Structure 1
């Protein structure tokens, strides 16, 4: 599945403890890269605060 819609690049400055924690999640295989961990955390945060994402999911085309 993938999300439909446009993407916008966002730059965020973080302190070393945050970067180290993100790198730890990647090293443990929990996430493939830092950005994936950040996106999952944001999704959880939005849902917790009653702001669920509204972008629909669509099946990926078969090859």
Structure 2
């Protein structure tokens, strides 16, 4: 999960070079927070399985 978030931040940095009016802080915040619900959705970082909340709601709504 952290690798994905860091990769997204690198993409965000490139986006700000192409679109200078884009808010760097907002893009980085979005990259770091967009999957925060996955921490609740899955039960174990080694062998992940869905929690009850994850099964019923999914990480997007959490």
Taking structure 2 as the reference length, what is the TM-score of the superposition? 0.32
Higher strand share: 1
How does the TM-score come out when normalised to structure 1? 0.31
> Which structure's relative contact order is higher, taking Cα pairs within 8 Å and 6+ residues apart?
1
